[in-house]
Amino acid sequence: MTESFGALLRECRELAGLSMGELARRVNYSKGYLSKIENGLKPPNSTMAKLCDHALDAGGRLIEAARSVRTLDRRQVLAAGTMVGLALAGGPRPALDESVLAGMRAAFENLQALGMRTSPVVVLESLRAQVNTVVALARENPEPIRPRLLLLGARIAEYIGWMSQEAGDEPGALAWTRQASELALAGGDREIESYAFVREAGLALYRQDPKSTIDLAQQAQRVGRPTARTLGLALRREAQGHAIAGDRDACERAMDRAVELFDQSRSDGAKYPVLGSTAPDPIGLARGWALCDLGRAVEAAELLDLELTRLPDGSRRSRARFGTRRSLAYALAGEIDQSCLTLAETLDDAAHVDSATVRMDLRDLARTLHRWRGHRTVREISPSLNRVLHRR
């Protein structure tokens, strides 16, 4: 019988006939990191253990082994201040009450609202400072405040992962998303453990990797304790993966199921601010996106036209993202004047939110419009489009 997680991982990998490099590719961790795990130089984390267990068909053995060596996890996470340089000013530590906790949550929600309207670089430093403070306070406060702080820290870390992706930092996005999962587990809640896979599926979606998008979204539906809302977000992402794979039937089945789950869901404000999109109908927006990927450009443009009218004024990031998709759908449908007209409405939002992921879609749109470069409206919009694309 193996005596350590690393030895068990090596045994399972060799039984599966996989090299370290192939396993690293399948679970989206570096070969060097996995090597340190196998050799006992680093402890396993739950996310990595689940991914490896699935990739190696280990039947839960790796998950259980990781759990058995994580008896110190709560102390490790609460000591994260040392690991990532978290510290509070010297002096006596205040005993926190509900009003202080509510104020810290409100401060995060204010930064989150600001992140919907401006560049991620405007909010990232403040978010990092806030999560550092929250986790450091969690180290030094007893129950029942401690888990509440950890769950708030988990939600902030998850949002930092999203803003890191928007800033074009995919490694940072992955690292913060996984840190969010660890903080949530230490706080006694497993929903973010599930949602972390939804976020990783989003990274795969932007790499145009349908298999990883679908696999990660399906794992989100199996691990942790996802609420109906998180399951709906996972199915939404799975549907988008099927769309870029060109599987219309699977896409529609997943999207329809996501709608059912969202109809059932109710946000639980007691744990942490709501996970995922705050749009009134995130499934409708994703369906419009998926229709475009499936080549049904006219339907996509019509649906996105409708859904964009439902977005609140403060949702600049969502307006930029789905507005760009709408203009792309019109261009693919041959409606060049309408594509340029809607793009003119979107570019100001895109410039303000300074999103790396939105720029990916804008570049795709620019390539499509280039086929009509002699068209009057294309010539008129091109300078403004180029300024946003090349803005530093």
How many Cα atoms occupy the beta-carbon half-sphere of 75 within 13 Å?
A: 4
pLDDT(127) > 60? yes
Question: Other C-beta atoms within 10 Å of 171: how many?
Answer: 9
What is the model's pLDDT at position 77?
Answer: 41
Domains parsed from the chain with CATH numbers: 5-71 (1.10.260.40), 72-88+96-189 (no CATH), 190-276 (1.25.40.10), 295-392 (no CATH)
- Distance (Å, rounded) from C-alpha 73 to C-alpha 356? 34
pLDDT-derived band of residue 92, with 50, 70 and 90 as boundaries?
Answer: low
Mean pLDDT confidence for 126-149: 91
Structural tokens at position 232: 């709906």
What is the model's pLDDT at position 3?
Answer: 60
Mean pLDDT confidence for 88-116: 80
Q: What is the pLDDT of residues 242-298, one digit of tens each?
A: 999 999 999 999 999 999 998 887 654 456 667 777 788 899 999 999 999 999 999
| Residue-level length of the chain | 392
Q: Which of 279, 315, 256 is nearest to 116 (CA)?
A: 315
Contact predicate 257/219, CB 8 Å = no
- The reply to whether the predicted model has a pTM over 0.85 is no
Q: What is the pLDDT of residues 217-254, one digit of tens each?
A: 999 999 888 889 999 999 999 999 999 999 999 999 99
